Amino acid sequence: MFTLHSKVNYLLKITAVFWIVTKLLSYKLWLSNRLFPVLPVFDFLDNFPNGFHLFLFIVGMGLMVLVLLQPINKKIIGLTLLVEVISCLLDQTRWQPYEYHCLLVYCFYFFLKEQKHFINCFIFLMVATYAYSGLHKLNGGFLFFIWEKSILIKFFGFRMDQIQNTAVHYLGLTLGLFEVVCALFLLVSKHKKIFAGLLIVMHLFIIVWLSPLGTNHNFIVLPWNIAMVLFLMVLFFTNEKTNFSFKELFEARQIVFFILIGILPMLNFLNLFDDYLSFKLYSGNLPKMFICIENRAKAKQFNAYFSENKTILDCPNTIAISNWSLKEINVFSYPSERVNIKIMKKWKEQHPDILAKFYLVKYPYHKENIQLLGE
């Protein structure tokens, strides 16, 4: 029998399991002895030794194991939050969407007094994730790069001439609308199981699509997708009815999470709030940063990260920042102009003998949207 208490326990332990798995898969992200620069959120946090990063990684993992193996303890949850936040402050790249999700879940438990409030905020987090993720997919970048190139061509094996049809092109918009509609009905429908089930099917498709059975790309997000399936099952397919109250979000401490999860991501549409903190997932229109190397012979340590295919730049020796980070630390770089500027400054400090220019390309990816950084 599932009770409210057991639901809370399962949700916290599921989070712990997949948090551990994700951190192990991206262990280099949590260390500093790597080529991809460590980018602290605040400059005064720079230059901590690798031993300190390793210490935080080990302690954080140990605390998550305690959450998993022992009865839920608010002090352990609080210590886990403290260690993870410190670690994330030491490197902006660590603020990946799934890391942010896990931090929020533990914040719910630590700061909210009642278990029903924890469940209420957890449901709202799920709904906001799907709703904003869906809205951000309603653009041409998603249709071309994700829908056509990745799903239809690379995954299903269609040829470009087979999908050069207006109806097929715009059919991809239904994927974003699907997420938005399911999110809304998770809030208002009397038949929440139907829409939770549809979202589970979506996650199962994503798991196959990104796995070695599919495109074998960015598999670091697979644990999060599996966790989302389990979250939906615990919330909507157990005997204990899960109720959501929009009114309760405006009570006491919940309103902070309502603003953080529901309101601030809206500012992203005005470019006033970060993409990853706004649940902008697989949108296909994030800005791209490139490094153009003028004396490649001096950059032999970066040979594995040079782009094999021609890029939008008229430069034969190009490193795409997202490809570099994905290959070395198994995550995409944090999509923010201020972070890209930090990458440029770090490069100039650490590799003064390598002549390089830094370019930011905003969507749509045309030559007129290429910006030379540092000038």
Q: Fill in the DSSP letter of residue 241.
A: P
Q: Which of 112, 102, 129, 128 shows the shortest CA–CA distance to 74? A: 112
Residue that has been written with the tokens 């949590």 in this structure? 30
Q: Fill in the DSSP letter of residue 361.
A: E
Q: Give percent of the chain above pLDDT 90.
A: 90
Neighbours of 322 (CB within 10 A): 18
Residue that has been written with the tokens 């608010």 in this structure? 74
Q: pLDDT at residue 294 above 90?
A: yes
Cβ contacts of residue 133 below 8 Å, gap of 6+?
176, 179, 279, 280, 281, 282
Q: Last residue of some domain: 267, 284, 301? A: 284
Give pLDDT, residue 375: 61
Q: pLDDT at residue 242 above 80?
A: no
Are both 31 and 173 inside the same structural domain? Answer: no
Q: How far apart (Å, rounded) are the C-alpha atoms in residues 155 and 274? A: 30
Beta strands in 51-128 (DSSP E): none
Give pLDDT, residue 33: 96
Are both 135 and 261 inside the same structural domain? Answer: yes
The pLDDT tens digits for 100-138 are 999 999 999 999 999 999 999 999 999 999 999 999 999
Are both 140 and 239 inside the same structural domain? Answer: yes
The pLDDT tens digits for 23-78 are 999 999 999 999 999 999 999 999 999 999 999 999 999 999 999 999 999 999 99
Q: Last residue of some domain: 111, 134, 154? A: 111
Domain count, the chain: 3
Are both 254 and 355 inside the same structural domain? Answer: no
Calculate Rg over the CA atoms of the chain. 21
Are both 13 and 76 inside the same structural domain? Answer: yes
Give pLDDT, residue 251: 84
Q: What is the pTM of this model?
A: 0.96
Give pLDDT, residue 106: 98
The pLDDT tens digits for 166-180 are 999 999 999 999 999
Are both 58 and 93 inside the same structural domain? Answer: yes
Give pLDDT, residue 374: 79
Are both 294 and 263 inside the same structural domain? Answer: no
More confident of the two residues 248 and 31: 31
Give pLDDT, residue 75: 97
Are both 123 and 91 inside the same structural domain? Answer: no
Give the domain range for residue 210.
114-284
Q: pLDDT at residue 243 above 90?
A: no
Q: pLDDT at residue 240 above 70?
A: no
CB 137 within 8 A of CB 263: no
The pLDDT tens digits for 140-153 are 999 999 999 999 99
Are both 107 and 249 inside the same structural domain? Answer: no
Are both 127 and 263 inside the same structural domain? Answer: yes
Neighbours of 81 (CB within 10 A): 19
- 310 pLDDT tier (thresholds 50, 70, 90): confident
Q: Last residue of some domain: 111, 126, 145? A: 111
CB 267 within 8 A of CB 279: no
The pLDDT tens digits for 325-373 are 999 999 999 999 999 999 999 999 999 999 999 999 999 999 999 999 9
Give pLDDT, residue 365: 94
Cross-strand pairs, 318? 292
Are both 292 and 279 inside the same structural domain? Answer: no
Cβ contacts of residue 169 below 8 Å, gap of 6+?
143, 147, 148, 163
More confident of the two residues 251 and 363: 363
Q: How far is CA 167 from CA 162, 175, 178, 289, 352, in A?
A: 12, 14, 17, 32, 51
CB 374 within 8 A of CB 358: yes
Q: What's the average model confidence in pLDDT over 236-240?
A: 82
Are both 37 and 157 inside the same structural domain? Answer: no
Structure tokens at 327: 């290959």
Helices and strands (H and E) in the chain: how many? 14, 4
* Alpha carbon of residue 218 to chain centroid: 11
